[in-house]
């Protein structure tokens, strides 16, 4: 990788929350974006919780910054509760 190259990757995982009778109570969406360059990496993870009607109930976002050796150098997070 050249010193000014940046690689970006994203992973999205969706999980259904199901009640005892099989009805869908809601979903959890975990979205992770990783940006990596010669000087380190940034990881931005957002977790959204939706009710059965698709309304946003809660959201949490965390951003981690790593140096070139993989050491955590900064972290910021925010929890947003909508419902």
Q: Supply the pLDDT for residue 43.
A: 97
Q: Which pTM does this prediction carry?
A: 0.82
> Cα–Cα distance between 70 and 23 in angstroms, integer?
42
Work out the number of other CB atoms within 10 angstroms of the CB of residue 50.
Answer: 20
pLDDT given at position 47: 97
54 forms beta bridges with none
Question: Quick one: which of 83, 80, 81, 82 has its CA closest to 61?
Answer: 80
Q: How far is CA 83 from the centre of its chain?
A: 20
The model's pLDDT over 34-43, given as tens digits with 9 standing for 90+, comes to: 999 999 999 9
69: alpha, beta or left? (left if phi > 0; alpha if psi -120 to 50): alpha
Render pLDDT for 38-72 as a digit per residue (tens, 0 to 9): 999 999 999 999 999 999 999 999 999 999 999 99
Please determine, for residue 5, whether its predicted confidence score (pLDDT) is greater than 60: yes
Q: What is the pLDDT of residue 79?
A: 82
The mean of the pLDDT values for the chain is 93
């Amino acid at each position: 990788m050249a010193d000014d190259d940046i690689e970006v990757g994203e992973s999205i995982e969706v999980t259904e929350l199901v009640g005892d009778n099989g009805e869908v109570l809601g979903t959890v969406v975990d979205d992770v974006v990783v940006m990596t360059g010669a000087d380190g990496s940034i990881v931005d993870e957002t977790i959204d919780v939706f009710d059965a009607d698709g309304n946003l109930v809660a959201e949490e976002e965390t951003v981690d910054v790593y140096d070139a050796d993989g050491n955590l150098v900064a972290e910021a997070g925010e929890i947003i509760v909508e419902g």
